[in-house]
């Protein structure tokens, strides 16, 4: 079968390969892949900066944002042939650590987790894959291939859960939220904020095109300047860029008792001048919290499935701004100015 593979830590090593059928050891559920989304993590892997091949191998099948159709499933289970499904990305570490032992692999403590398409476990950008039922999430059939947005939505569903749990240490009734970055993660974070009834402000650099329109259409307000120019003392900031200056802008301007959730993975090597004393003083005196958030467990995928099922289909259609057939995979990996979420169509 065809699969998009890469040699991790080798820039420009991606190619469309003929690979063996998925091993039975990956699980009894056989899935025909329909679509795979491309994200910033894939770009990092393709540029040779991130990623791990499975043990004893040089190459990794890419792809962690997926949508597929069940082709075979064990009798008597929850899954039936034809179901539209998404594969969970992370697998618990083998020890397992206390968090992985209770299904909270997104909080793995020892770093020995694996991730499909990213870390030591083949991804989903192949014509077929196998998986165990406990790592399969069903999506609303009416979403069709828009179900490919489930994995990125799970990441922000987790971020919102962190915000609410931390906010819940005292009375917490947030009214305003800032989302930095109007890429897919930022837009999906804004969607959930609006669904929660918050006054959501999204900040990005571009002044025209699809992103400002998508922010308006989801029911949020679009800005291009600093956080303080967008809204005064927001209750929540979901930082989706990983840009150091925005991270500190968020910490400086979060409102009293507010929560900043960092979801963007930045590259190192950039220093900033920060008035650490003033920042510390304000954060202490106003009980502010900053939390990092990565990945998602099953609960977050399920929350994401609910968020997507309740989203406007036309809006989601526009978030998937470009679809590229697997044969033209190179075109999917090139960034174009108006790209939001680019999806590789693996099957039909």
Residues that bind ligand BGC (CB under 6 A): 39, 41, 64, 89-90, 115, 118, 151, 155, 294-295
Which one, 116 or 223, has the nearer CB to ligand BGC? 116
With beta carbons less than 8 A apart as the criterion, state whether 124 and 36 touch.
yes
Least distance (Å) between residue 36 CB and ligand BGC: 12
| Sign of the torsion formed by the C-alpha atoms of 135, 93, 300 and 181 | negative
Which one, 191 or 231, has the nearer CB to ligand BGC? 191
The DSSP string of 64-111 is -EEEEEEEE--TTSS--TT-EEEE-SEE--SS--TTGGGT-GGG-SSS
Which one, 37 or 167, has the nearer CB to ligand BGC? 37
Which one, 7 or 114, has the nearer CB to ligand BGC? 114
Other CB atoms within 10 A of residue 125 CB: 32
Which one, 118 or 177, has the nearer CB to ligand BGC? 118
Which one, 142 or 267, has the nearer CB to ligand BGC? 267
Q: How many degrees, rounded to 5, is the angle at CA 124 between CA 337 and CA 145? A: 60
Q: Is 205 exposed, middle or buried (0-12, 13-18, 19+ CB in 10 A)?
A: exposed
CA distances to 88, 215, 217, 265 from 312, in Å: 24, 13, 9, 29
Least distance (Å) between residue 308 CB and ligand BGC: 15
Which one, 90 or 211, has the nearer CB to ligand BGC? 90
In the block, tokens 């004393």 appear at 277
Which one, 219 or 242, has the nearer CB to ligand BGC? 242
Least distance (Å) between residue 162 CB and ligand BGC: 14
Q: How crowded is the C-beta side of 31, counted as CA atoms within 13 Å? A: 32
Which one, 64 or 211, has the nearer CB to ligand BGC? 64
Least distance (Å) between residue 65 CB and ligand BGC: 7
Nearest residue to ligand BGC by CB is: 41
Helix (H, G, I), strand (E, B) or coil at 151: helix
Least distance (Å) between residue 37 CB and ligand BGC: 9
Least distance (Å) between residue 108 CB and ligand BGC: 10
Least distance (Å) between residue 151 CB and ligand BGC: 6
With beta carbons less than 8 A apart as the criterion, state whether 116 and 60 touch.
no
Distance CA 344, CA 348 (A): 11
Strands 176-180 and 199-203: parallel
CA distances to 178, 248, 270, 277 from 273, in Å: 23, 10, 10, 12
Least distance (Å) between residue 294 CB and ligand BGC: 5
Least distance (Å) between residue 107 CB and ligand BGC: 11
List the beta bridge partners of residue 29: 131
With beta carbons less than 8 A apart as the criterion, state whether 236 and 163 touch.
yes
């Amino acid at each position: 079968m065809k699969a998009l593979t890469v040699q991790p830590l080798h820039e420009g090593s991606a190619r469309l390969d003929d690979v063996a059928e998925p091993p039975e050891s990956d699980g009894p559920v056989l899935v025909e892949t329909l679509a795979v989304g491309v994200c910033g993590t894939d770009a990092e892997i393709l540029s040779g900066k991130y990623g791990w091949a499975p043990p004893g191998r040089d190459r990794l099948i890419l792809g962690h944002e997926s949508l597929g159709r069940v082709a075979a499933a064990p009798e008597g289970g929850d899954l039936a042939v034809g179901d539209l499904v998404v594969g969970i990305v992370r697998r618990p570490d083998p020890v397992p650590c206390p968090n992985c032992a209770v299904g909270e692999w997104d909080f793995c403590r020892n770093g020995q987790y694996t991730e499909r398409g990213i870390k030591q476990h083949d991804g989903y950008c192949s014509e077929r894959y196998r998986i165990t039922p406990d790592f399969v999430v069903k999506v609303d059939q009416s979403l069709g291939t828009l179900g490919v947005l489930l994995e990125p939505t799970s990441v922000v569903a987790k971020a919102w859960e962190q915000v609410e749990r931390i906010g819940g240490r005292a009375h917490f009734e947030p009214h305003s939220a800032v989302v930095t970055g109007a890429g897919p993660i930022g837009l999906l974070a804004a969607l959930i904020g609006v669904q929660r009834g918050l006054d959501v402000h999204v900040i990005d650099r571009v002044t025209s095109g699809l992103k400002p329109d998508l922010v308006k259409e989801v029911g949020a307000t679009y800005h291009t300047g600093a956080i303080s120019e967008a809204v005064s003392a927001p209750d929540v900031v979901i930082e989706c860029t990983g840009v150091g200056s925005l991270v500190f802008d968020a910490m400086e301007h979060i409102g009293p008792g507010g929560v900043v959730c960092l979801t963007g993975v930045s590259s190192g090597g950039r220093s900033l001048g920060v008035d650490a004393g003033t920042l510390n003083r304000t954060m202490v005196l106003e009980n502010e919290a900053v939390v990092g958030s990565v990945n998602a467990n099953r609960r977050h995928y399920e929350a994401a499935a609910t968020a997507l099922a309740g989203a406007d289909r036309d809006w989601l259609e526009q978030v998937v701004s470009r679809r590229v057939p697997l044969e033209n995979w190179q075109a999917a990996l090139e960034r174009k100015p108006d790209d939001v979420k680019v999806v590789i169509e693996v099957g039909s």
